Structure formats: C-alpha cells, structure tokens
Structure 1
Amino acid sequence: MGVDREGGARRRPVRAVAYAACGVVLLAGCASMPDSGDLQDVESTPRQDTQVRVFAMPPRDDAPPSEIVQGFLEALTSDDPHYATARQYLTAAASQRWKPELSTTVLANGPDVQADHTGGRDDTDDYAFTLTGSRVARVDAQQSYTPLSGPYSQPVHLTRDRKTGQWRIDGLPQGVVMGQSDFQRNYMSVNKYYFASNTKAGSGTQPTAVADPVYVRRRVDAMTQMVRSLLNGPTRWLGPVVRSSFPTGTALKKGVTSLTPDDQNKLTVPLNEKASRVGREKCYEMATQLLFTLQNLTPTVDTVAVQRADGTSLCTLGEDRAEAVASRGSVKRPEYLYFVDDKRRLVRIAGGSAGTSAAPVPGAFGEGAQQLRSAAVSWDERTAAGVGFDGKSLYVGSLVSGGSLGEPVLRSRGKTENDRLTTPSWDAHGDLWVADRDPAHPRLLVLEQGAGQPLDVKIPGLNGRINAVRVAADGVRIALVVEKDGKRSLLIGRIEREEKSGERPVVSVLELRSAAPELEDVTAMSWAGDSRLVVAGREQGGVQTMLYVQVDGSTPEGPAPAAVTGVKSIAASEDDRLPLVAYSAEDGIVRLPSGAQWQKVVKDGSAPVYPG
C-alpha cells in the first residue's frame, strides 16, 4: 500500500521474498532486492498460508518521500513484534512519540496516499501527505473491536535530515492503520474468559464463564499476548458484569517475555507477587480462566500450572477439572431439539440424533392443552414457556407427565399477531425474557424464575421496537432484533441487575451495539457459541444470506452456513457439535449437520429451539 510517485494515489505491486523452508516473507516496499533466491511477485501480502511469517524491509538510502510513506505502511502489516523496522522510517523524536499499541484502524481497501504539498517550513526539507480511506473498524488499546463507517483522513509529514540527507516521517497519527485484507491476515479474534459477577469465588455456586473477544496479532506470540490481556482485565464494555479471580495488579513475573507449553501440553504461568497468597479454590478459578482462554486459542494446551514469583506452585489444573470449576455455554450439550408440530404441540428430537421422528414432550405442552405459536425450554430442560397460537398469552409449565399449565403468566394487548409477544428466552439463572410488541406499550419483560409479576427492563438508548429476544448462556448478554422504519437490526446489550434488600431488582440492558452492521434487514438469529451468533437477513442491495457474527460486530473466521430460502427462525446450540436448525416457510424444519448439506426434518413444523 502506498504511492508509486509523488502526488500519486494508486498502489503498485510489492515484491516479496518467500523463504519456504523457514516460513518467512520479507515485505520489500520499494527497497532493493537480493539478486538470488526464490522470488515471487504478489499484488499484496499473501494470505493463503497463515503460518508464513512476514517481515518488513528497512528504508533504502536516498528513498524519496513517497517511498518512505509506502515502506512505513507496509511495515505496519508485518510480523515485527515491536514495529522496529517501521520505526526506522521515523525520526527519533517521532519514534519516541508514536504508540502503535493504542489502536488499529481498519480501512476497506487500505490507506490511499495523497500528496498535499511540498514546502512549508523549508521548501527543500518538507513534504506532506494525507492518508485516506473508508473506515471499517477500530481495535482499541484493550484489543476490543468496534465496527465503524465513514471517511478516514490523517496527515503524515516528512522532513529531510540535514546531516544525512535522508527523508523521514516526523508527524503521523497514533496507532496503526491497514486495509481489511491485511487486518484479516495479521489479526485473529480470541475469547478470553471471566466470570459473571453474580457468582463469587468460594460461594458454593459454580461460576458462569463469560467470553470476552479480543483481537491479537496472529504470529506475534499470541499465547503470551492472550495471557497478558487476560491478566489486564475485561474490556470496558463487558467489565461491569464480570469479575476476574486474579487479584488486582497480577501480571507475569518480571522477566517473563514468552510462554510455551511443554511436550505434555502443560503451560506454566509464573505470576508476580500480587497472586502469591491466593487460596486453592481461587487459584483453581484463575487456572480455569487461563485454560478456557488458551484452549480457545489452541487445542494444544490441556493443563495449566500457576506459579508464584519464587517458583513454587500455586495450583495445577487439567481440562476435566476446569469444567467442574465453572460452567460454560459451549460445553453444555442439550439433550433435545424442540419445535412446534402440525398439531401446535411442543415436540422434541434427541439432540445428536440423525432421525426425523419427533415425540411430544411430557406434560401439558406435549398434550396439546394449549395450541402454541412458539416456545422456549429452560437450560436444565425441566421447564418450558410457550406463546399461544394467537400470540396473546404466555404460559409456563413443567416438562413432566401430568403437569398442567394454569393461567397465562403474561398477556399482550396488541391488536394483531405481529403486535404481540415474541418467542421467549430463558437465561442461566432460570429467569424468562420476552418482548411485548404492542405499539401502544412496547416493552422488554423478565419474569423471575418464570413466574410472578413481570419486571419492566430499562433499555436506555433503544431506538425502535424489539422483534426478537435471545439471552446468552452466561446470562449477562442479550441479543435483540430491533425494528425501526421497516428495517430490522441485530443489537447486543449488557444485562445489569441492581439488587436492594427487600426490594425487587432493577434490570437494565445497557450500551446496545450493532452485531451485524453489514445486514440491513435481520429476519432471524440465535446464539451459536460463547461469543458468536448465526443470523439470517438481507445484505445491502437485497441479497438474502445467512452468516455467523461475533458479539463485537466482527466476522469470525470460517465459512458461513449455506443460505435457506424464506428462513423465519433459526436454532443453534452454543455447543457447535450440534447441527444448525432452521424453519423455512417452503421446506419446514431443516437442519445442517457439520460438513453436510441442509436436510429436511419435517415439512409440517415450525419454531425450532434448543434450550435457552
């Protein structure tokens, strides 16, 4: 990326040297090349092999200003851990001021370079450029991703050293800037894990793990990056609803610069004095946070050993023990898939089954005592909630033989079916969430333990009417489809509860943010992992699609599911070993097993759901 002459705005091909034996690529920019060895022309940094290491070339002698800017931008996309080569394009003072770790700005096609003028302070020792482009996203100092839009424009100033005669950059924006393809090659999204703050260490209640996705540089010791990021604490958005078991100020032991698992897949993590006095149970929680985080990065770590600064052991934890220390949505394997059959009853199929024969659930919902439009099943699969066929009434009942429904726990006054209750959703605490779409009184409601007087949920900043509700397995994040001016968007909010003795809790959903900015109309969604959702909708321009999205609005690696025509609802388990299921007006209930094509389950069925 860069310019091909002063005043130019187009990029020219970059020559790169690939050393296949050691997996190294040198970004040359406009620098001179060796005259021997294997050479390969590329239009941009290669992305095919994610194991290829990329290093930048330093500025050549007497390089003109445009070449200096281009070489600097290319160096930003390299795998140089501390940007040492990029700093060679800066003056000493600029290098000292520049802090690349403050942010990474992602542009659609990389920065274009526009020459502004020569002259200024000195006609012969001055040159200025402007970096321009279309913003896609920003990764902040906490490594948190935020989608962005709109133009990008930042000045770059160069000066010529009067002693050496070499051009160097003396004014530049803070942070790093690169194109989207370079960002995808250089960075990857990894979940770090904390605990829902309503479960305390040593309380006797198993804490719930909450995923906090961050972006790290893919080939710059990602394991050590992730441990440091975990120790630094949760990102700002998630921080109010999670806790870390690491004492404040905990860091890697002084002098530890890199972490590597041994040949037994055990990673030893030496910590500073801040963690030296933690008890055994708290240490197990610390090790669980480490293990969940590292296993999201790589499957090669199955044991974590936490050490004091003096080298003595605090605790050692294997993956089997970690699952006993904390619960995590992605390892909760549902027993059944549920849906509403042609008799408007709630029926189920074994979760891992390839069969198509469904049986009515035990109890009133399976007996057809009340015809259903949609339903939700609690995480323990002992209780269900169902919306009546006309959308007016919400019922709750046990999934046991002989159980009765009784009176509705909630009624909507909406005049039409589309102005009444949404499909409900259960959280990890056993509370039931549902939205009433009545235009006269639209609201989000939560029923504690699925019963009693509903609580009105406060949602500051909500602009539109809620069309769909899904609570994450961790119980602290919620996905909402919100309709405004005929368009439906997917928003993620943080659930906060304010509890006062003797009073009912105040429940709020705060800091809504877009999770699928590329879709202009969302028709269905479901959680599909600890920090991932599957979404069906229409892209800008009217193309129907189905895709996976991260809670931070980024797109995860890997293929998107094949689209299904006329999707009305989607069911996905946070355990990705279970198939994706959808309801299509044309095909009925269909499912997508891993590595296979969509398969019909039943033609006459609707509203598929996994527990939650």
Structure 2
Amino acid sequence: MGADRVGGVRRPVRAVVYAACGVVLLAGCASMPDSGDLRDVESTPRQDSQLRVFAMPPPEDAQPREIVQGFLEALTSDDPQYATARQYLTGTASERWRPEQSTTVLAGDIHVDSTTGHETSHDSSDDYAFTLTGEKVALVDAQQSYTPMRGTYSQPVHLTRDKKSGQWRIDVLPPGVVMGQSDFQRNYMSVNKYYFASNTWADSATSATAVADPVFVRRRVDAMTQVVRSLLSGPTGWLEPAVSSSFPAGTELRRGVTSLAPDDQNRLTVPLNEKASGVGREKCREMATQLLFTLQNLTPTVDTVTLQRADGGTLCSLEEDQTEAVATRGSVKGPDYLYFVDDKQRLVRIGVTATSAEPVPGALGEGVQKLQAAAVSWDERTAAGVGDDGKSLFVGSLAAGGALDAPVLLSQGKAEGERLTVPSWDARGDLWVADRDPARPRLVVLEQGGGQPLDVRVPGLKGRVDAVRVAADGVRIALVVRAENGSRSLLIGRIERDDKAGDRPVVSVRELRSAAPELENVTAMSWAGDSRLVVAGREQQGVQTMRYVQVDGSTPEGPPPAALTGVLSIAAAEDDRSPLVAYSSEDGIVRLSSGAQWQKVIKEGLAPVYPG
C-alpha cells in the first residue's frame, strides 16, 4: 500500500527501524540508529509488525515548505509523544498543540498551497503562510471514535523565522493530527472495547450482555496500554446512553504506571488507582471480564487478568474461560443451524456444514402456512415467518406439535414491496420488523414476539425502513433506509428503552449514522461479528460489490468476501467461524467458508438466516 504523498512532492527522509529483538519492538531497540544508511520511505506495509517508522528532525536552514512537509511527515511516524513533530513548532505552538484532540483522515494527497511570499533564504520577511487542503474521509475524535466525513479540508499553517537562530518554525497549525488514508491505515488499528448493556440481559440472571465499542488506537505505540486507558475512560459518546461500565467513575491506572505488558504466562496485571479499591469480588470480576474481552485481539495475547488496588494488593484475578459465567457475547456461541424457506415455502434447517435440509419442528415447518421469509430467535426455540403475500407475520414454536396462532401483525401495503420486511429477534426475545406501507411506514417491536405491537420512535429518520437486523447485544440495530430518490443506505442506530413512561415501554432508535457511506444502493446486509456487518450493494461508480464494514463506518482489515453476482440476501453468524451464506438470483443458496470459494447449498430455496 503506498503512503500518501504531501503536495505531490517526494517527502523528506524518515528513518525506518526493524525490530531485531522479536516481533514486538523492545524498548532497547526503539531508538534512532547512530550509524548506517537512511532511505526515503514512500510506502510502508502496514501488515509488517516489525517495522517502526521515526521522523527526522528539521534540517538546518530548512525553508518554509520543507518545514511544513517535515511536520506532516512526522505526524505519520511511530513517535509516542510526537516529540520530533514538536521540533517543527515554536515553543508556544508546541505547548498549545494537542495531537490527541483529533485525527483528520484525508482521501489522498495533502496539498500544501503557498499563500504568501517566496520560499528563498534571501526573503527578508519573517513570516510565511500555507494552506493545507484535501478531501476528508473521516475524523477520529478525542474519544478515539471514528466518524466518516465528506467535504473539502482546508486549514491554514503559519510560519515565523526565529530572530536569533534564523530558523523557520510553525506558530499556527491545524488542530489535532492530519494524515492521508493509507498512512492512517498503517498507523492506526480498530479495537473493540466492551461494556455491558444497561437494559438487556441474557438468559441467566447473573450474566450481563457485552456490547462492543470500537475505537482506533496507534498500532505500534504501546497499543495495549492505550486500549486499557481507553476502556477505563468509559464508552464513546454515541454508545454511552445504552451501556454501563463496572469500573467506578474516575478509575485510572495507578499513578506512575506508564506501560502494561503480560508476563510469560500471558497474565496481565493492571494496577488501578484508589477509585477502584473498594469494589467487591463480583464487581471486580465484571471489570476483569471487560478487560479480557477488550484485549483478546491484541498481540501478545492475554489469558488472565489480575486487578490490583492502589496499595498493590490484589482485587481479583480472572481467566479467559471464566468470563462466560460473568457475561455473554453474541460472537461466542455459534448457531446450531442455518434456516431458509424451501421450494414448498416451508421453514427448513440445515446443519452449518451439512448438505441436506429438513423441515423445522412445529407448524412453520409443515407448509400449511406458506412463507416468503423467516427469522429464528437466538435460542433457536421460536421462529417468526412472513406469509407468502408479505402481509402477515406469524410466530410459532420450534417444537414438535406446536400450533400456529393468528398473525401477530398485518400490513395494509398494496404492492409486494410495500409490506413487511424480514423480521429480526433481539437478545431479550423481542421481535422487530418494519412495515413498508407508504400510507403508514413504521418500525415496530413485539415484546417476546407477541402482544400489541409497539411503534418504535426513530428521530431523524429520512426515508422508509426497507430492512432490519438487530445485533446480538440488543443495543444496536442495522437499518436499510430507502430515500425519496430510491437510494438505499445502511444506517446503525442505538436502541433505547424507557420503562418508566407508563404501562408500556417507550422504545426508540436514536442517532442514526452511516455504516457504508461508499455504497449508494445497499441490497442486502447482516451482522457478521460484534461490531462488523457484511453488505452487498452498488458503489457510487455503479459497481456491484460485497464487503465487510464496521458499525462506525470504517473498513475492517482483511479481504472482502469473494465476488458473487445477483445477491438478494445475506446471512452471517456473529460467530465468524460459521460460513457466510447468501441467496443469489443466479445460484440459489450458496455458502462461503473461510479461505474457500462460494459453494452451492441448494438451488430451490430463498431467504437464508442464522438465529437473530
């Protein structure tokens, strides 16, 4: 992957240091070499964890443009505190600059446009100005939360010449950090922090539901300590109203602790300040569970967490295999079956790796009521089916002999595409579905799959909900929304429940945000992990594609699914060990296992789903 260039000009030299001490660069190796050759670096492979990049300080008598380019280059280095970047600033500017405030990501080149004077050492002026421009892609805020952005980036940079030394330095600069997209992908990685759903509990009364909260941290700047500090600081603003942390407010690492690393037994000791000293055993186990869930994808791995009090005493220890007794995650338990509607319009099921299907137990598998789509609850004990006319929603037990009651919901939509969507179950056992009737478009939830439907409030919704998928945690919901111009976009909302408003709760989906801003026409989607979805649709240039996206709108690392034409629906388990399944207008139901190609499961079938 090519590094972004500054202003279309070859960038200043920066030093590359290889880790001679192992995969992770040890402290003894993390220094500038005092001998050997230096070379230009135009491209830095982000997958090479043994590569550290350090910026060069400003050269003697560097001209204004060189200073600006050198500063921008220094922002992309692996310097923990940006010490080298600060050498390009005046003392006052360095004191005021807060690189942790934000990171602005641009699509490609950062253009350095001169706005005053001439760039020569003979210029008698002691000040000089540039404008940095580019096309915005995203902003990572002070909470390390990623938000897709569009529009033109334009920020002034002013330089002054020191009267004593005669050296140019920057005294006015943009807020935070700015870099191109490829440098961002090389420097930063996405990590899920975990908190507990405030109003969603698993089957066990003692087991909470964990919710992923993705943030971006600098990849090679002590990522483990960054992530722990971020977890202790609390959830990001978007997720905060729906989750809670078991760490007491104000909990931080003990004073003087600057770095965390597991021992040779993969045990991580986390010394905490006095705010956590009084927690009980169960609360401490919840805190340790949050840490273990959060650290699971980092290297080196952590199998055990020990939390310490401010005085050095042990609060508690927890091993990875003990977390299931504390909290559940949707991505932990794999599904027993894949479900779909067969050519007789019955609900059938097939083992995840099997090749033959069987009707599900109960009325929905008997074919008396013909179906066009279905959804199965997370415990795989109950199913909801949309009748073949798209107007009726039925709920039935997946047990032999189970009867089918009257529809729990009816749509009055006149055309086939103006009726009920495929339903979706949340972790509470509630059933979600959208009615696309133009006369009364609405998103509804049926508590425990029955009763009087609750209309869900969706402030800020512009358009009609065309598809619904609730995350396993029951806190986040993915919606495909059709705008007036016919485009279909993927939005993620936060589910909030107010049980104090009256006899029945008030349910809302708030703060909708785009998860696939590069797709202008989403045709299918499914959750595919704790914070990841798989999406099929058309790019803005008109190209059909299938890709993975994060809930925050970023693109996860790793290859996209193999290409498949005519995709009408997708099914992915939140446990990523289960194969991806799709319904194609050309091939019927097909399955994609990791590292393989699409394989046909059955030609005469449609609407495949995993539980959820």
Given that residues 16 and 52 in structure 2 are in contact (C-alpha distance below 8 angstroms), is that contact kept between their aligned partners in structure 1? no
SS of the equivalent of 2:156 reads strand
Equivalent residue number for residue 159 of structure 1:
160
Counterpart in 2 of 1:367?
Answer: 366
In the alignment, what sits opposite 2:413?
414
Measured against aligned partners, the alpha-carbon deviations of 1:209-234 in whole angstroms (never above 9, x if no partner) come to 00000000000000000000000000
Q: Which residue of 2 aligns with 1:10?
A: 8
Q: Distance in 1 between matches of 2:314 and 2:563?
A: 51
Tell me the residue number matched to 2:487.
487
Give the residue type in structure 2 aligned to 1:164: S
Question: CA distance change for structure 1 residues 63 and 439 in 2, over 3 Å: closer, same or farther?
Answer: same
Written as runs of structure 1 = structure 2, the 5 A alignment for 1:122-271 is 124-198=125-199, 204-271=205-272
Alignment-derived partner of residue 311 in structure 1 = 312
In structure 1, the residue matched to 2:27 is: none
Matched residue, 1:587: 587
Distance 2:34 2:284 in 1: 56
Partner of 1:110: 109
Deviations 1:364-408 (A, max 9, x none): 011112100000000000000000011000000000011111100
- Are residues 1:380 and 2:379 paired? yes
Matched, 1:524 2:524: yes
Contact preservation (8 Å) 2:88, 2:169: yes
Instruction: State how far apart, in whole Å, the 1-side matches of 2:424 and 2:514 are.
Output: 20
Determine the C-alpha separation between the residues in 2 that align with 1:580 and 1:59: 51
CA contact (8 A) 1:466 1:481 kept: yes
Q: Contact 1:519 / 1:540 at 8 angstroms: preserved in 2?
A: yes
The 8 Å contact of residues 443 and 455 in structure 2, kept in 1 or not, is answered as yes
Q: Distance in 2 between matches of 1:571 and 1:44?
A: 37
Q: Kindly state the Cα deviation for residue 51 of structure 1 after the two structures are TM-superposed.
A: 2.8
Secondary structure of 2:208's aligned partner: coil
CA contact (8 A) 2:200 2:427 kept: no
Q: Partner of 2:567 in structure 1?
A: 567
CA 1:511–1:243: 2 relative to 1, 3 Å: same
CA RMSD between the two structures: 2.0
**Runs of 4+ off more than 2 Å:** 1-4, 13-24, 33-48, 296-299
- For residue 525 of structure 2, give the secondary structure of its aligned residue in structure 1: strand
Q: Take 1:405 and 1:399, find their aligned partners in 2: how far apart are those partners? A: 11
* Equivalent residue number for residue 476 of structure 1: 475
Q: Does structure 1 conserve the Cα–Cα contact (< 8 Å) formed by 2:199 and 2:497?
A: no
- Give the aligned partner of residue 28 of structure 1: none
1:365 corresponds to which letter in structure 2?
A: L
- CA distances 1:34-92 after superposition (whole Å, capped 9, x unpaired): 99735544424454523311111101111111110010000000000000000000000
Percent identity (aligned): 77
SS of the counterpart of 2:236? coil
TM-score scaled by length of structure 2: 0.94
The amino acid across from 2:543 in the alignment is V
Tell me the alpha carbon deviations over residues 420-455 of structure 1, each in whole angstroms, 9 at most, x when there is no partner: 000000000000000000000000000000000000
CA contact (8 A) 1:544 1:563 kept: no
- Which position in structure 2 is the counterpart of 1:295? 296
Indicate the SS of the match to 2:150: coil
Report the more deviating stretch, 123-132 or 496-505. Answer: 496-505
User: Unaligned 5+ residue runs, structure 1?
Assistant: 25-32
Deviation at 1:18, TM superposition (A): 3.7
Distance 1:486 1:51 in 2: 48
Counterpart Cα distance in 1 of 2:464 and 2:43: 44
Q: What per-residue deviation string (whole Å, max 9, x for no partner) do you get for residues 469-498 of structure 1?
A: 000000010000000111100000000001
SS in 2 for 1:329: coil
Q: Is the 8 A contact 1:377 1:385 kept in 2?
A: yes
Asked whether the equivalents of residues 199 and 205 of structure 1 are also in contact (C-alpha less than 8 Å), the reply is no
TM-score, with length taken from structure 1: 0.94
The one-character-per-residue Cα deviations of 1:486-534 (angstroms, maximum 9, x if unpaired) are 1100000000001127510000000000000010100000000000000
Paired position in structure 1 for 2:26:
none
Task: Give 3-state SS (helix, strand or coil) of 2:297's partner.
Answer: helix
Cα distance in 2 between the residues matched to 1:587 and 1:117:
62
Question: Could you give the per-residue CA deviations for residues 177-220 of structure 1, whole angstroms, max 9, x where no partner exists?
Answer: 0000000000000000000012589x944110000000000000
CA contact under 8 A between 1:16 and 1:39: conserved in structure 2? yes
| 1:356 has 2:371 as partner | no
| 2:513 matched residue in structure 1 | 513
CA separation in 2, counterparts of 1:269 and 1:298? 17
Instruction: Give the whole-Å Cα distance in 1 for the aligned partners of 2:291 and 2:34.
Output: 47
- Partner SS for 2:54: strand
Contact 1:268 1:304 in 2 (8 A): yes
Counterpart CA distance in 1 for 2:173 and 2:285 is 46
Contact between 1:2 and 1:112, CA under 8 Å: does it hold in 2?
no
C-alpha separation between the residues in 1 aligned to 2:101 and 2:16? 30
- What is the deviation of 1:563? 2.0
Distance 1:48 1:313, change over 3 A: closer
Q: Contact 1:538–1:545 (CA<8 Å) still a contact in 2?
A: yes
Report if the CA contact (8 A) 1:2-1:113 is conserved: no
Q: 1:20: Cα distance to partner?
A: 3.8
Aligned length: 595
Give, in whole Å, the separation in 1 of the partners of 2:253 and 2:300. Answer: 22
* TM-fit CA distance, 1:238: 0.2
CA contact under 8 A between 2:307 and 2:315: conserved in structure 1?
A: yes
1:592, distance to aligned residue in structure 2 (A) = 0.2
SS in 2 for 1:466: strand
Structure 2 equivalent of residue 423 of structure 1: 422
**Partner letter of residue 429 of structure 1?**
R
Structural mapping, 1:312-331, within 5 Å: 312-331=313-332
- Match of 1:362, SS? coil
**Matched residues in 2 for 1:127 and 1:16: separation?**
25
Q: What per-residue deviation string (whole Å, max 9, x for no partner) do you get for residues 125-183 of structure 1?
A: 01000000000000000000000011000000000000011100000111000000000
Range with bigger deviation, 378-387 or 41-50:
41-50
Structure 2 equivalent of residue 27 of structure 1: none
Question: Is residue 306–residue 318 contact of structure 2 (8 Å, CA) maintained in 1?
Answer: yes
- Residue 401 of structure 2 corresponds to 402
| Contact 1:583–1:606, Cα closer than 8 Å, also in 2 | yes
2: CA distance, partners of 1:199 / 1:401: 30
Quick one: distance in 1 between partners of 2:314 and 2:33? 51
Residues 54 and 213 of structure 1, relative CA distance in 2, 3 Å threshold: same
